[in-house]
C-alpha cells in the first residue's frame, strides 16, 4: 500500500496522515492535504456565499438552543441578501459590502423571535452589533423603521410582513410557540 498521496492543490506528495477522511472517495481521504484544505475553507468563508452559509448554520444552532420556531431556508437567506444588496442596510441605509454584512433577527431569538424569512434582515455587522438583542423598535430610527415597514418580506405560511411581527411582539400577542 502506498503511504503517500499527491495533494490536488499544492501538488506535493505527502504522507496519508496529512489528509482528512472523506469516505466517499475511493481511498477514503480528501484530495487536498490538511493545510491546503484549511486555506481553501478560509478563503471560501470570506466570500459572500461562504458568509451566508456560516450565518445560516449559526442561526439554525441558535434557533435550536433558544427553542424558537425555525423554517428559514438557505434560498430565503440568499434572497434577503440580494434585497439588502440592492436596498442597503435597513438600519443605516448605507450600501452593504460583501465583507461587512450580518444576519439580524428583527425580533431577537433570545426574546423568542422566530428564525424565519419574515424575521430576518441582512445589515451591516456594526449595526447588528449595536442593536444587540434589542427589538428593532428599541434600536432603529423612525426612518429605518419606515424602510422595514415598506419591506415586502412576505414569508411563512401566514404571509406576515416584518412590521406585523413587530406589532404582535409589542402587543404581547406573540408567543414562543408561534
Q: Which grid cell sits at 130?
A: 449595536
Q: Which residues pair with 120 in a beta bridge?
A: 105
Q: Domain residue spans in the chain?
A: 45-171
Helix axes 48-66 and 34-46, enclosed angle (nearest 10): 90
CATH number of 45-171: 3.30.40
Query: How many CA atoms does the CB half-sphere of 128 hold within 13 Å?
Result: 18
Buried b (16+ CB within 10 A) or exposed e, 96-106: beeeebbbbbb
Q: Would the pLDDT of 91 be above 70?
A: yes
Highest-scoring range by mean pLDDT, 59-63, 79-83, 153-157, 165-169: 59-63
Q: What are phi and psi of 90, to 5 degrees?
A: -70, -15
pTM of the model: 0.71
Predicted confidence band at 153 (pLDDT cuts at 50, 70, 90)?
Answer: very low
Q: Would the pLDDT of 100 be above 50?
A: yes
Note whether 89 and 124 are within 8 A (CB): yes
Amino acid at each position: 500500500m502506498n503511504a503517500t498521496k499527491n495533494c490536488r492543490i499544492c501538488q506535493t506528495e505527502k504522507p496519508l496522515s496529512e489528509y482528512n477522511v472523506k469516505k466517499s472517495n475511493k481511498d477514503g481521504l480528501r484530495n487536498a492535504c490538511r493545510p491546503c484544505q484549511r486555506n481553501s475553507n478560509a478563503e471560501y468563508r470570506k466570500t459572500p456565499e461562504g458568509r451566508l452559509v456560516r450565518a445560516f448554520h449559526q442561526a439554525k444552532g441558535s434557533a435550536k438552543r433558544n427553542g424558537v420556531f425555525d423554517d428559514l431556508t438557505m434560498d430565503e437567506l440568499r434572497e434577503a441578501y440580494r434585497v439588502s444588496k440592492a436596498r442597503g442596510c435597513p438600519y443605516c441605509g448605507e450600501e452593504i459590502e460583501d465583507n461587512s454584512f450580518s444576519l439580524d433577527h428583527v425580533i431577537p431569538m433570545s426574546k423568542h423571535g422566530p428564525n424565519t424569512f419574515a424575521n430576518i434582515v441582512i445589515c451591516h455587522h456594526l449595526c447588528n452589533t449595536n442593536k444587540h438583542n434589542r427589538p428593532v423598535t428599541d434600536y432603529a430610527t423612525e426612518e429605518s423603521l419606515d424602510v422595514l415597514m415598506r419591506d415586502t418580506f412576505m414569508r411563512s405560511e401566514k404571509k406576515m410582513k416584518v412590521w406585523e411581527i413587530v406589532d404582535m411582539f409589542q402587543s404581547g400577542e406573540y408567543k414562543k410557540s408561534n
